Amino acid sequence: MGRPDGRTRESDVVNLDPAIAERLRRDGAGLVPAIVQEHGTGEVLMLAWMDDEALHRTLTTGRATYWSRSRKEYWVKGATSGHYQHVRAVALDCDGDTLLVTVEQVGAACHTGAHNCFFDSLEVRLQ
């Protein structure tokens, strides 16, 4: 896999365990969505994106690391805010195209300061 968005690779070494890499089904940009859930509360905090290297770093550092599609760079969650996500578990779904990352969240997960990103409720109104 090349880097998402055609960015030049920092290295040609593919670090992710090949046994995991072969089960991943990536989108056209080489990414899979990662659902982030809080350990203990079960709260769904946010959704972010990983490529192979972000997943490798997440699994081997224990700090949730994503690919920022807007900044086009790796992003250790909390590196600037201090709001780290300490990884408790990572699971791949049945068809290999989505990750579920269970974390201990330091502070707020959302850049707005909210604990999670899903505070905009839409009304379910049966017709």
Q: Note the residues at the interface with a second copy (CB under 8 A).
A: 20, 23, 33, 35, 37, 41-44, 46-47, 55, 58-62, 87-96, 98, 100, 110-112, 114, 117-127
Q: Which is nearer to a second copy, 1 or 43 (CB)?
A: 43
- Least Å distance, CB 120 to a second copy, is 4
Closest distance to a second copy from the beta carbon of 2 (Å): 18
What token pair was written down for 29? 């940009």
CA distance 118 to 13: 37
Q: Specify the residue, 74 or 118, whose C-beta has the smaller distance to a second copy.
A: 118
Token pair recorded at residue 37: 């859930």
Give min distance, CB of 97 to a second copy, in A.
8
Instruction: Encode burial over 15-38: b for 16+ CB neighbours within 10 A, e otherwise.
Output: ebeeeeeeebebeeebbbebbbbb
How far apart are the C-alpha atoms of 15 and 38, rounded to whole Å? 27
